[in-house]
Structure 1
Amino acid sequence: MEAVTAERAEGALLSVRGLTVRFRLRGGRTVAAVSDADLDLAAGECLALVGESGCGKSVLASALLGLLPGNAVASGTALLAGGTPEAADLLAADEKTLARTVRGRRVGLVPQSPAAHLTPVRTVRSQLEETVRALTAVPRRARREAAEAAAARAAFPQGHLDRYPHELSGGLAQRAATALALIGDARLLLADEPTTGLDRDLVDRTADELRRHVDDGRALLLITHDLAAAARVADRVAVMYAGRIVEVAPAHRFFGPTGPRHPYARGLLDALPERAFTPIPGMPPELSALPEGCAFAPRCARATARCATRPDLRAGVACHHPEHARA
């Protein structure tokens, strides 16, 4: 595992090590939103980060772009294009660097809450054209056409381009945000729940467009609870539980007959309507009061006394009693 990790890290567009995010609360309490996250992402690859709501997926993405609130403390490293003259540690970069050279240019973002990222007093068309102007070399006379092309890529209807954000449904706002993120053709795209509010046909269309972005030689970190969308586009899957990555696996194995090895990851799949439709018992732990050992142990039928100690992410799975591969 260590040799494979080293090889992957060497050629990675994004290499994250030990990413930890703590939120400071009143009374001196802290919330461990993300703990010791390691991941690598290569050009031409999609990594899907999946898990229940509140597990830390969106916090991880916000940390990479310096978008955490003021009471958050992030540590670790997140090297973007490590080994190149433009290499940058996203966690160490200041706001000026992130705003001028990273966001939109080197790293694009499809936000989880698009309404909060759209300017309320400007039409979708004007925001698309302004983004074209800021991030591309398209001449002024061609900006309108480029904006319409970006809208088409995100399945945003041209008839709604001259509307303001408050006139859009949640699904349309999501597609507008996706169009904005695609304009710069950033080498790395962070898509945080990009299919929220979309019907199944639009989910598939959005997923396919994101896959085309990857197939053009760029990288995609897809943060989603939509496992069907992840299965459609991902090359690898990383599973988060209670702020920790508990399994990383090739998508063909994770979604195929072999299945995942971590009991929680397998429970996510078994809870799908098209599978066993069996919910995972119990509730996730409070992030402000995580146990010393395996956080999933209270919900796990395989737990033993050994689970009072925290398992490391070895051979792609952080579990003392991983599931055997299905026949």
Structure 2
Amino acid sequence: MLSVQNLSVTFTMYDQGLTQKQLTVITELDLEVRAGEVVAIVGASGSGKSLLAHAVLGLLPDNAHVSGAIAFKGEPLTPQRCQSLRGKEMALIPQSIGYLDPLMQVGQQVRRVAQLGGLSKRQATQTVDRTFCRYDLHPNVQQYYPFQISGGMARRVLVSTAVVSQAALVIADEPTPGLHPDVVKETLNHLRELADEGKGVILITHDIEAALQVAHKVAVFYAGTTVEIANVRDFFEGKIRHPYTQALWRSLPQNDFIPVPGSQPSPDALPVGCLFSDRCPWVTEACCAARPRFRIVRGAPVRCIHAENHHANW
């Protein structure tokens, strides 16, 4: 359904005075999302997760230069096609509640999205009523403006806009922070149901545990690129390949609870070789010479020249 190949995103920015500089924030990124599949994207802040969503939906600012190829349903996703499909065939659950129109009642906003997706006025009203009930939003909430509801309620409204949209591709950008655990579970289950109905779902999250509950695959981002795309079962069977993925897994409280040493490199100071080289326990001189390409190791793509020789040891 969605194919992202060798994607790079560079911003033209002003440095000092009128001096311009180029800042590359996404580098040679790859991702595939099939119909009926939930692909979770995990990684630290600044790794390019939300920027990928904005690139796919054509929401990047004018100073962004995009290279590489993005295809949706087998056809190139041009800016014009993005505009025609956004909100209809492709829906976003944004990270910020600021996406809600402050001058429109929230129920009216969600109904409008449902109608843009092809539902009649009556069908849209019924769908919104069911969706608000599912997310524990009282019917009266539909009459409120965004400033009259809490942050958690606003986030549930944003989730509702995506699930009523009839879109074939749903991109959920951190949809669960600040929500009650029961609502988190319901939201994640609903995303999985959308996939079971044949939609493609991208779940962007910092929470690996949440991702593993509903995802089919996990794409691990680091410093603006994909370092591994693993099947969920690989995590539980000790088969994940990249040292950064293994470090993230071991940092969870129920595992070794070992923090990942060091920090992610800044976009304006990326190393020539492997982006993880200065933090990697497997690093050799060859790692610093050139950036590794994606290749298949034990059935899944990984960006590491040593992945074949190192296995998880938990």
TM-score by length of 2: 0.91
Secondary structure, in 3 states, of the residue corresponding to 1:108? strand
Offset, 1:142: 4.3
SS class of match (2:265)? coil
Worse-superposed segment, 126-135 or 33-42: 126-135
Residue in structure 1 matched with residue 47 of structure 2 by the alignment: 55
Task: Please say if 1:204 is aligned against 2:185.
Answer: yes
The answer as to whether partners of 1:110 and 1:194 remain within 8 angstroms in 2 is yes
Structure 1 runs, 4 residues or longer, greater than 6 Å off:
none
1:321 aligns with 2:301: no
Matched with 1:177 is 158
Higher strand share: 2
What residue is the counterpart of 2:274 in the other structure? Answer: 294
Aligned pair 1:43/2:35, yes or no?
A: yes
Residues 20 and 34 of structure 1 are in contact (CA less than 8 Å); yes or no, is this contact kept in structure 2? yes
By how many angstroms is 1:182 displaced? Answer: 1.2
Structure 1 residue aligned with 2:3: 15
Whole-angstrom distance in 1 between the partners of 2:11 and 2:219: 23
Of the three residues 100, 103, 117, the one matched with 2:86 is: 103
How far has the Cα of 1:126 moved from its partner?
1.3
Q: Is 1:191 paired with 2:172?
A: yes
2:22 counterpart of 1:30: yes
Q: CA deviation at 1:152?
A: 3.1
Change (3 A) 1:156 1:76: farther
CA RMSD of aligned residues (A): 1.6
Alpha-carbon separation, structure 2, partners of 1:153 and 1:93: 35
Identity, in percent, stands at 39
Pairing 1:76-225 to 2, within 5 Å after superposition: 76-82=68-74, 87=75, 89-90=76-77, 92-94=78-80, 97-99=81-83, 101-113=84-96, 115-138=97-120, 140-225=121-206
Distance in 2 (alpha carbons) for counterparts of 1:299 and 1:157: 49
Structure 2 CA distance for aligned equivalents of residues 301 and 188 of structure 1: 38
Deviations 1:111-160 (A, max 9, x none): 111x221110111111122222222232x344432221232344434342
**Which residues of 2 match residues 205-284 of structure 1 at below 5 A?**
205-253=186-234, 255-284=235-264
User: Contact 1:257/1:326 (CA < 8 Å) preserved in 2?
Assistant: no
SS at match of 1:146: helix
Counterpart amino acid of residue 262 in structure 2: G
Answer whether contact 1:129 1:143 (CA < 8 A) is retained.
yes
Q: Is the 8 A contact 2:114 2:166 kept in 1?
A: no
Which amino acid is the alignment partner of residue 11 of structure 2?
F
Q: Where in structure 1 are there 5+ consecutive unaligned residues?
A: 1-12
* Change beyond 3 A, Cα 1:187–1:141: closer
Of 256-265 and 207-216, the range deviating more from structure 2: 256-265
Q: For residues 79-109 of structure 1, what are the alpha-carbon distances to aligned partners after superposition, in whole Å with 9 as ceiling and x for unaligned?
A: 1111xxxx3x22x232xx433x311111111
Number of aligned positions between the proteins: 303
Residue type of the alignment partner of 2:241: R
Q: Which runs of 5+ in 2 are unaligned?
A: none
TM-score normalised over the length of structure 1: 0.88
> Structure 1 residues 234, 142: closer, same or farther in 2, change over 3 A?
closer
